[in-house]
Amino acid sequence: MVGLNGVIILAGGKSERMVFPKPYLLFEGQTFLNKIVEEYYSAGITSIYVVLNDNFCKGEWEKYIFQVKSHAEIIKNPNPELGRFHSLKLGIEKMLDFEYCFIQNIDNPFVNKALINSLMDNVNPEGYTSPVFMGKFGHPVIISKNIIQHLNNLPDGDVNLKNILSGFPRLGVQVNNDNILININTAEDYERCINSPQISKKKRIANNNN
C-alpha cells in the first residue's frame, strides 16, 4: 500500500455519443459516478476528485452530485469542448503533493476494491501501473509522482495521455477479468455491456423527437 494517494475521475466530457450523461447511467443500481466513487472510498482512498462537465452539475443533475459529495470533491469543467486532456489537467492541479494518483475514466464502471488494492500493492515509483488481461493493458492506471509533475508541466491542448505514458516504464498486473478493457462510449456499448432499459428508453425518446 502507498502512503499518499488519490484518484482523478474523468467525467468532464459532453457525452455526445451517448443519449444520456455517462456519469449518471445506471450500473448495479447506482450511477456510474456513485459506483466508482464508492469503490475507491471503500479501498481507503479518501482524496477523490471528479472532473465533471459544468452542464451536468446543475439543474436536474444536482441530485446526482449530492450522492457523491460526502466522499468526493467536484471540479467543474466549464470547457468540455477542450477535450479529455484539459479535464485531466484540471484534476492534476489537485495532485501535486501526492505520491501516486489513479486516473479513472467514467466510462468504465467495472472497477472494484480488489482491483484498486491490487494496483496499489504494485505501484511503480518510476512510472505507472495498469491491469493486464490476456496480454492487453486496461483501466484504470495509477501513476507516480514524477508523471504527475510531468503532466502538470505540459501545456494544455490536444494531447494523448497514452502517448505521454509510453515514455515512462509500465508495470502490468495480471487480472482475470476482461472488464478492464471496456469503454462505454455509445448507447450500443451500454446496452451490450450493461443490458439496462434506461438507455433504450432515452434512445426511443430521442428518435421520436427527430
pLDDT in tens, 2-12: 458 999 999 98
Cα(15)–Cα(197) distance, integer angstroms: 18
What sign has the CA pseudo-torsion 94, 96, 97, 98? positive
Q: What is the mean pLDDT of residues 62-68?
A: 88
Q: Where are the beta strands (DSSP E) in 46-166?
A: 48-53, 73-77, 100-105, 128-133, 136-137, 141-144
pLDDT in tens, 109-167: 999 999 999 999 999 999 999 999 999 999 999 999 999 999 999 999 888 999 999 99
Cα(148)–Cα(44) distance, integer angstroms: 20
Residue 149's CB is within 10 A of a number of other CB atoms, namely 12
Length of the chain: 210
| Cross-strand pairs, 11 | 52
Domains of the chain: 5-182 (3.90.550.10)
Cell numbers standing for residue 53: 462537465
